[in-house]
Amino acid sequence: MRAGIKNTIIAILKDYPNYEAYRRERELDLRYPAIEPDDNVGGGRTTREHDAKMINYIVSIESDKRLRALERQHKAVQYALDKADDDTRTIIEELYFKERPLYSVAGLVMSGKLKKILSERSAYRARNEFIEQVADNLGIKYL
């Protein structure tokens, strides 16, 4: 897998625990768009034209591309987590879901936190297969 794609998937995994906050923030942005105040004091055109233009730029929640991408990424990770075994889930949660991870892959193996995986190489393989599964779920080509 190319490093750029792998880094993209890792960034998605690190953002996974914050999905609900991102979704709420984006929905609020769409519901209550920022409207710049009109500093034009005095004559001139009415501000109703400006308001009409702003209404045309408001994107509905159902058709927002950024919100759909967030949902798609969340579902891709969730599906991969549902299919993963306990050790793989432990690796992913420790490395990417915690704000300050306590262990590396090698540390997880040496500490005995993993039940079935006994070697560092097997742990890295499980992590890489999970990342590939998320990439597949997102439809990303990684060859």
Distance between CA atoms of 29 and 113, rounded to whole angstroms? Answer: 41
> Is 90 exceeded by the pLDDT of residue 61?
no
Six-digit token string for 127: 């992590």
- Residue 59 is classified by DSSP as P
Q: Please list the alpha-helical segments (H only) found in the chain.
A: 3-15, 19-31, 48-57, 65-83, 86-92, 105-111, 120-138
Task: Using a pLDDT cut of 90, give the percent of the chain over it.
Answer: 62
Note the pLDDT tens digit of each residue in 21-56.
999 998 888 777 676 676 666 666 555 555 555 554
Q: What is the pTM of this model?
A: 0.79
Cα 59 versus chain centre, distance: 21
